[in-house]
A = this chain, B = another copy of it.
């Protein structure tokens, strides 16, 4: 469903072309200072900063605290943060209502919701909802301090020269995927619970909710599948759990070991491309050529790191709280 977390709990809501998107945070400790200004930097990162290959849709992304915040601090009651959708142009979607866009959720939404889904701008499936997730991440990262979560784009189209890969994709009226790495420093050991709530399980659960994510690996990840045990095992160096190497990505037996938490996620290329693609017109049951001229990202991965941070931070804040390591009233 649209809810994540056991004690620090997020519920996400909204559609791309409806009045708003938003996040409902339940279980946030009381007394946490929350100011709209706290959200500005991450919102700007999510918008992509106007870089080539990011959507020209420009929302101001100002968080509106509807509930749960009073005199600049969380009250202990559920926090509802809304973001208005202002730059909405749904004209393009009217025409293609019965023509599922390749790579998008149009066909499955039709199947699952029988034509009632609001699919303007991809509706509830839109990347627009990550605004709400990023807002949750801002709050979660505050709770996690002094632990710090930071993600960055390592590659686009398989190349570390990301600008070039994006430019080439744009020139070809195409899009391109990317690889994001996330690291969390100063995380306490002991987070995560066998059997089903391993740190990997919970982070993967949250991260795969982000549109366009198709893979995740922790520590050496897929490379570990090609290696020997003698290469992969991290050797304990002191009683605090420090290890010389960090092939495990900071997790043993599903539990954080105090080393840096490290994971990478694969972001697929944006499904919307300008080049014409073949699909089906469900009204006529005939093939149809579709070229997407709307406001799209050539490389959604450019804007993904802050969203990945948010997903990880939300999970870790919940684990911290479940472990009894977060005060119920912030100092």
Which of B114, B201, B328 is the one whose CB lies under 8 Å from A208?
B201
Which of B100, B102, B201, B220 is the one whose CB lies under 8 Å from A206?
B201
The range of chain A's interface size is 35 or more
Closest to A6 in B: B6
Given known pairs A24-B24, A75-B117, A124-B75, the reply for A179 and B225 (CB within 8 Å) is yes
Contact B235 A118 (CB under 8 A): no
Contact A195 B70 (CB under 8 A): no
Chain B residues, Cβ within 8 Å of A201: 204-206, 208-209
Q: At the interface, yes or no: A56 with Cβ under 8 Å from chain B?
A: no
Q: At the interface, yes or no: A40 with Cβ under 8 Å from chain B?
A: no
Copies of this protein, total: 4
Q: At the interface, yes or no: A221 with Cβ under 8 Å from chain B?
A: yes
Whole-angstrom distance between the Cβ of A246 and the nearest chain B Cβ? 12
Which of B76, B80, B234, B322 is the one whose CB lies under 8 Å from A112?
B76
Chain B residues, Cβ within 8 Å of A200: 208, 213-214
Interface string of A156-191 (1 = CB under 8 A from B): 011000000000010010111111000000000110
Chain B residues, Cβ within 8 Å of A258: 111
Contact A233 B108 (CB under 8 A): no
Determine, out of A25-33, A44-52, A144-152, the stretch whose residues face the partner at the interface: A25-33
Q: Whole-angstrom distance between the alpha carbons of A93 and B75 in the complex?
A: 16
Q: Whole-angstrom distance between the alpha carbons of A228 and B76 in the complex?
A: 31
Q: Whole-angstrom distance between the alpha carbons of A222 and B215 in the complex?
A: 6
Which of B77, B172, B217, B236 is the one whose CB lies under 8 Å from A117?
B77
Which of B20, B189, B225, B329 is the one whose CB lies under 8 Å from A215?
B225
Q: Whole-angstrom distance between the alpha carbons of A179 and B228 in the complex?
A: 13
Q: Whole-angstrom distance between the alpha carbons of A77 and B116 in the complex?
A: 10
Chain B residues, Cβ within 8 Å of A327: 324
Given known pairs A2-B26, A125-B194, A235-B277, the reply for A70 and B116 (CB within 8 Å) is yes
Contact B103 A229 (CB under 8 A): yes
Contact B125 A253 (CB under 8 A): yes
Q: Whole-angstrom distance between the alpha carbons of A275 and B228 in the complex?
A: 11
Q: At the interface, yes or no: A18 with Cβ under 8 Å from chain B?
A: yes
Contact A108 B252 (CB under 8 A): yes
Listed from nearest, the 3 A-B pairs whose CB atoms lie closest are A105-B253, A158-B226, A215-B217
- List 15 A-B pairs, Cβ < 8 Å: A13-B67, A13-B68, A15-B70, A18-B67, A30-B117, A75-B118, A102-B233, A108-B190, A116-B329, A169-B228, A204-B204, A205-B205, A209-B254, A224-B269, A237-B280
